Amino acid sequence: MARWPWYIQVGLIYLAARLVSGCIFVAVARHQGPSPWGDGEPDYLNFINIWDAEWYHRIYSGGYPAEIPRDPSGDALTNAWAFYPLFPLLARVLTFVTGLPWVIAAPLLATVAGLGAMLVIYKLFRLVDTRMRRSSSRLHGPEDSALIGERRTSHENALWGVALVSTFPVSAILQVPYAESLHLLLLAASLYLLLRRDYLTAIPVVLLMCLARPTGVPFALLVAAHLLLRIRHRRSDPLPLPEAVKATLLMVVGGVGALAWPLIAWWVTGDIRAYTETEAAWRGGDGIVPFLPWVESAQRLFGDVLGWFAPLLLLAAVVVYLDSAAVRRLGTDLRLWCGAYMLYLLAVLHPQTSTFRLLLPLFPLALAAVYVSKSRAYRCSVIVLFTLLQIVWVAWLWLWDELPGGGDYPP
């Protein structure tokens, strides 16, 4: 199999991982009792079409509400505006073309998008220069590629990286009707084009990414840092004015893309706070205050005093980790992305059980995990551990098991 084309090898790794995840879903479904989505022991397709998949199905079937639903006191209720439109739109296109119902078309779209994501992630990992500490000059042709090709990530290491992403503890989400797999594909493509400095081609990809999941802000932050570093190193790494303009345009597009969905919600509903109040409703009705949810969660866990220091310790641990030897081998741009995305999560995320799923965009760290050791025993052990944690994630969070006070922890 080592002689087969790289895309066949990547595809087999991904499909094997999805088969394992499918078996986990089927096994856990046998323990599912009656839930808000139906009777107990559902089949595979019905079991993976629960939780947020139901909201995507509502959008697919009836679109978004023209007005924000509110309770008698005027507070916004949970509604579809919290979910971005690209995935249900593409699912509708797929059903129109194939005639397949949502229950089949949506998981198929998610699974195929996940396969595309793994193919792009492999190409992205192969592009990583593991030796040079500065940004290399732009490739202008096959001659330049041949000169520095030996410094790039090896085929074997890139495959291991794909294997770790494919078996990540929440990777089962890549085959359910969520937007994660589609977003992962667009994010990997955006990072790939940024590393190649193909800024103009990246613009439509970034715009689509911003309509799949809300990651425009950290990506714009990444491009800003990328551009500043290029300006700083312009003597050793020339930055022609046209290229600087293209990079600036990409940064602006990332910022505009981050505002696109809130502006669309405002335009449709006539309520300037339609999106922000909807997000607040999904958080229990509290307003969105940057960084505060982490402090409040830490205070519930560690008390009023230590709760103020826990987020700072978490931030310090992130900084130390991103400066570790294995992560430094990812190169500047991928490290900047991980840092920007973690900072974004710290600023806007309300920490809960869904946080595990939201860590998937940190997929470049899978390659850093590969660099920790060349030992196959170590790498296989990580895959086994990830697979066991998939069982934990599906059985703990995907399985509906009503809490004493009602509801259940979301995946």
Cα–Cα distance, 86 to 81 (Å, whole number): 12
Q: Is residue 91 part of a domain?
A: yes
Question: Long-range CB contacts (< 8 A, 24+ apart) of 88-96?
Answer: 88/56, 88/57, 88/59, 88/60, 90/182, 91/56, 91/60, 91/177, 92/60
Q: Residue 349 — φ and ψ, nearest 5°?
A: -80, 140
Q: Is residue 159 part of a domain?
A: yes
Decide which of 179 and 142 is more confident: 179
When pLDDT is averaged across residues 197-207 and rounded to a whole number, the result is: 97
pLDDT of residue 58: 97
Q: Is residue 1 part of a domain?
A: no
Helices (H), 99-213: 102-127, 142-148, 155-167, 180-195, 199-210
Count the domains in the chain. 1
Kindly tell me if the per-residue pLDDT of 132 is higher than 70: no
Residues 352-387: tens digit of each pLDDT: 999 999 999 999 999 999 999 999 999 999 999 999
How far is C-alpha 135 from the geometric centre of its chain's CA atoms? Answer: 25
Q: 138: pLDDT confidence band, cut at 50, 70 and 90?
A: very low
Cα–Cα distance, 173 to 53 (Å, whole number): 11
- Of 200-209, 239-248, 280-289, 337-346, give the lowest mean pLDDT range: 280-289
Q: Is residue 113 part of a domain?
A: yes
What the block records as the tokens of 314 is 């978490």
pLDDT of residue 142: 37
Q: 130: pLDDT confidence band, cut at 50, 70 and 90?
A: low
pLDDT of residue 146: 36
Q: Is residue 117 part of a domain?
A: yes
Residues 292-346: tens digit of each pLDDT: 899 989 999 898 888 888 989 999 999 999 999 999 999 999 999 999 999 999 9
Range of the domain at 366: 6-398
Kindly tell me if the per-residue pLDDT of 284 is higher than 80: no
Which CA distances in Å does 163 have to 21, 246, 269, 383? Answer: 13, 34, 43, 8
Cα–Cα distance, 16 to 9 (Å, whole number): 11
Q: Is residue 233 part of a domain?
A: yes
What the block records as the tokens of 372 is 């920790």
Helices (H), 285-409: 292-302, 306-322, 325-328, 332-348, 365-371, 376-393
Q: Is residue 409 part of a domain?
A: no
When pLDDT is averaged across residues 193-199 and rounded to a whole number, the result is: 96
Q: 286: pLDDT confidence band, cut at 50, 70 and 90?
A: low
3-state secondary structure of 241: helix
Q: Is residue 411 part of a domain?
A: no
Kindly tell me if the per-residue pLDDT of 140 is higher than 60: no
Kindly tell me if the per-residue pLDDT of 181 is higher than 60: yes
